[in-house]
Amino acid sequence: MAREISRRGVLGGAAAAGATGLGGLVDPQDPQRPATAAAQTQRASTAMTPHIGTPTSRIDGRAKVTGAAKYAAEYNRPGLALGPGLAYGYLVTSDIAKGRVTQIDTDAARQVPGVIDVLTHQNRPHMADADSAYKDDVAPEGSPFRPLYDDRIRFSGQPIALVVAEEWETARFAASLVRVDYDEEAHVTDLHSQQGRAVALGAPASPAEAPFFPPKPRGSASVAIRSIGASAPLGASIANDDSVLDRRSLA
């Protein structure tokens, strides 16, 4: 039901639905009650401007202000997609900013009833070595972060062990029993004391040469709108969108 209404909303006017988010899908007089499909279509087909400056009830507002809204981890109940049998993890993180882990003693943590396993760099599952094995199209340049990869500590708070238990509280308590020995190296964490070593960067010749170039967009809003058959709210800009032209030529 909810899915059908939302598709009608999008079909009726993508711009209007986009401007109000999910707020357009409920009756503003009673956020608990979904609006009828007819009323929804009518509202969504009006122009975009009435939505600007008009208070709109959040679909999850009541649940959040009354504390009824749940975090994803709170849905561990039999019969739901996540349960039963969902386990909980709690991280043990590095106390030092730079160095190596020389020893991790997990015996005491493993003896806590309810603990399933304690993963460290010494017993983790296989992990790819090559940078190219890690795909993340919004990550900045450089080597990816590999959790529990080896004994190197690169930053304070780096995950160095994961305690897995049947209950979250058990995992948290057991994590406090993991003992870690380090070979500590000198670190630099005080930005103020390093200001004298700052390097001025020249202006890039083009945006693509900027040292922190933002990631490329992963899709095109205008393509998405065209693909569901809505009228074009972006006007002429669609004609200039290369990805739209590519799509037509493929068709």
Q: Which residues of this chain interact with other proteins, rule CB under 8 A? A: 95-96, 167, 169-170, 172-173, 176, 189-190, 192-193
Burial class of residue 161, CB neighbours in 10 A (0-12, 13-18, 19+): buried
Closer residue to other proteins (CB): 8 or 110: 110
Determine phi and psi for 163, rounding to 5 degrees: -90, 125
Closer residue to other proteins (CB): 195 or 249: 195
Residue 103 in 3-state DSSP? strand
Q: What is the DSSP string of 205-222?
A: SSGGGSTTPPPPPSS-HH
Closest CB 143 distance from other proteins, rounded Å = 26
Closer residue to other proteins (CB): 30 or 167: 167
Determine phi and psi for 36, rounding to 5 degrees: -65, 155
Are 104 and 178 spatial neighbours (Cβ–Cβ below 8 Å)?
yes
Closer residue to other proteins (CB): 96 or 225: 96
Angle, helices 2-12 vs 37-45, to 10°: value is 20
Closest CB 192 distance from other proteins, rounded Å = 6
Please give the structure tokens belonging to residue 163. 């305690």
Closest CB 24 distance from other proteins, rounded Å = 28
Closest CB 172 distance from other proteins, rounded Å = 7
Terminal alpha carbon distance of the chain: 33
Closest CB 190 distance from other proteins, rounded Å = 7
Closer residue to other proteins (CB): 15 or 97: 97
